Amino acid sequence: MTRNAPIPPAVLAAARARSEARRAHDWPTADRLRAEIEAAGWRVIDSGTEFRLEPTHPPDTEAAGTTRYGRTESVPRRLEEPADRPATIVVVVAGELGAEGARELERSLAGALGEAPPNVDAVVVVDGLADDGLAAVQGAVASVARDDRQAEVVATSAVLGQAAALNIGIRRSRGELVIVLDPSVVARGNVVVPLAAALGDPTVAIAGPFGLVSADLRRFEEVAASGTAREAASIQGYLMAFRRADAVARGPLDEGFRYYRNLDIWWSFVLRDEGQGRLPRRALVVPDVPARRGEPRAWTATPEAERERLSKRNFYRLLDRFRTRLDLAVGPSSD
């Protein structure tokens, strides 16, 4: 018995074969077929000699030599490999792209990679875009990539959300640092070196040019460094850098954060938190990072009421974990 149609014919055939294997008490075959069904994004639920199929996550798909992944765990992981380059730049592309969006991505990548030290690479995560959007991203990436500034495109088969897309980018990272870059940010020079210098201090957990301060973890204000670095409660996700090793130890990001807003605060707190009663590590707003910030497409493309709803949902998720952690607060007057 099945429901939640349409079920891919191969999945349905595997489920029927598994049912026959169970009747024959061929448990190794039944277990192997269950694993195949689950890898395709479906859950088989037995009821006596009958069964039903329910989707667990979008399936992995392949077309024209491109694999689209249905969940973070399907993406091949590099995090057990030693970091072999100074930094990996992670960019998430989501929503309706269009020609202007492709140009924006190209400008952002060209600026970030063009002035970066040798062997800095990029991972561009395409979150659920249609085939034409994926092709546009692949074209934009190909136009800026070279042997000494490689860029990889990883695509999902459905929209998984901002946190999942960042987890995918981190899984593919090869750099000692992970630098998250929103396509709305255009680098005007080398952004890697000043961020890497800030993270050379082991007391700094996360760094970037745009920060947020808060005295009570309820109201947050934007802050930028002026001439000298300054402390913040969190770094804004338009451009933020952290150690890959910390992402492995503290991650993954909570994939309940499907929208981008307030995820950067949550992640900053996760990276800074050393436990109740211990001095937190720092979020550092770095001066003179040559980058210009625009409005992210995730903001401009989302209706105002929906932005408000999704932002509040994320903020409640943030408070669920950190509402009592005033030790993580850094107020507007803090230095």
CA angle 106, 222, 87 (to 5 degrees): 40
β-partners of residue 156 are 69
User: CA separation (Å) from 186 to 39, 59, 189, 243?
Assistant: 38, 34, 9, 22
Task: For residue 334, give every residue at least 6 positions away whose Cβ sits within 8 Å of its Cβ, in sequence order, or none.
Answer: 213, 231
Report which residue type is found at 146: R
β-partners of residue 52 are 45
Structural contact between residues 135 and 208, judged by C-beta atoms closer than 8 angstroms:
no
Cβ-count burial 76-98 (b if 16+ within 10 Å, e if not): eebeeeebebbbbbbbbbbbebe
Q: What does 300-330 look like in DSSP terms, one character per residue?
A: HTS-HHHHHHHHHHHHHHHHHHHTT-GGG-B
Give 65's Cβ-side CA count (13 Å radius).
3
- Give the H or E element holding residue 292: strand 291-293
Domain range summary for the chain, segments of one domain joined by +? 9-55, 66-328
pLDDT tens readout for residues 224-263: 888 899 999 999 999 999 999 999 999 999 999 999 999 9
Residue-level pLDDT at 225: 82
Sequential pLDDT tens for the chain (335 residues): 444 447 889 999 999 999 999 888 898 899 899 989 888 878 888 877 788 888 778 888 888 888 999 999 999 999 999 999 999 999 999 988 888 888 999 999 999 998 899 899 999 999 999 999 999 999 999 998 876 678 999 999 999 999 999 999 999 999 999 999 999 999 999 999 999 999 999 999 999 999 999 999 999 999 988 889 999 999 999 999 999 999 999 999 999 999 999 999 999 999 999 998 999 999 999 998 999 999 998 999 899 999 999 999 999 999 999 999 999 999 987 55
Task: For residue 161, give every residue at least 6 positions away whose Cβ sits within 8 Å of its Cβ, in sequence order, or none.
Answer: 127, 255, 257, 258, 259
Task: For residue 16, give every residue at least 6 positions away whose Cβ sits within 8 Å of its Cβ, in sequence order, or none.
Answer: none
Residue-level pLDDT at 1: 41
Q: How far apart are the first and last CA of the chain?
A: 64
Give 129's Cβ-side CA count (13 Å radius).
25
C-alpha span between 212 and 222 (Å, rounded): 5
* Closest to 156 measured CA to CA, from 212, 219, 213, 93: 93
Return the CATH number of 66-328, one of 3.10.290.20, 3.60.21.10, 3.40.47.10, 3.90.550.10: 3.90.550.10
What are 192's two structure tokens?
């890697």
